[in-house]
A = this chain, B = another copy of it.
Amino acid sequence: MKSYRKELWFNVPSRRAFVNITEQVAHCLAESKIEEGLCLVNPMHITASVFINDDESGLHHDYERFLERLAPHEPIAQYRHNDTGEDNADAHIKRQIMGREVVVAVTQGKLDLGTWEQIFYGEFDGKRRKRVLVKIIGE
């Protein structure tokens, strides 16, 4: 069994954004030389998400609006987590809705994705350096 590990670093200039990382994950897989296996992709932070969906700006607008409706950033004081001095309680909630991680099949040395499946880093508390872990195991 082979295994591969890489950290991808991001510094999103806004509080929230969706960044397409499919190419970077595909590059990791090529580097790993793994042909058959599983590829785990997860943020190493608890106010961000890795998820798979469509690379379409209208949809990203809809996600943003949906998440803000369910767990609005303001007023900050509505969340007990923010009593600790933080202002990111909403980001912890948004990340749970969108999910932490994806596991992608690796087949014949490629990410085994459907036609429209794209891997995104979902940032909900940006403006600082944060990491995504790519771990691949297989043969």
| Chain A interface (Cβ < 8 Å from any Cβ of B) | 1, 3, 5, 36-38, 40, 42-46, 51-54, 56-59, 61-63, 66, 70-71, 79-84, 89, 92-93, 95-103, 105, 107, 112-117, 131, 133, 135, 137-139
Considering the complex, give the chain B residue whose CB is closest to the CB of A83. B58
Q: What is the distance, in angstroms, from A92's C-beta to the closest C-beta of chain B?
A: 6
Q: Which residues of B contact A133 (CB under 8 A)?
A: 105, 112, 114
Which of B93, B95, B112 makes the CB contact (< 8 A) with A62?
A: B93
User: Measured between alpha carbons, how far is A92 from B61 in the docked complex, in Å?
Assistant: 12
Q: Which residues of B contact A117 (CB under 8 A)?
A: 44-46
Q: A45 and B79: CB pair below 8 A?
A: no
Task: Give the number of times this chain occurs in the complex, counting copies.
Answer: 3
Q: B38 and A135: CB pair below 8 A?
A: yes
Considering the complex, give the chain B residue whose CB is closest to the CB of A79. B62
Q: A62-B81, A114-B44, A135-B107 are in contact. Are A100 and B56 (CB under 8 A)?
A: no
Which of B5, B66, B105 makes the CB contact (< 8 A) with A5?
A: B105
User: Measured between alpha carbons, how far is A59 from B58 in the docked complex, in Å?
Assistant: 31
Q: What is the distance, in angstroms, from A21's C-beta to the closest C-beta of chain B?
A: 15
Q: Which residues of B contact A135 (CB under 8 A)?
A: 38, 105, 107, 112
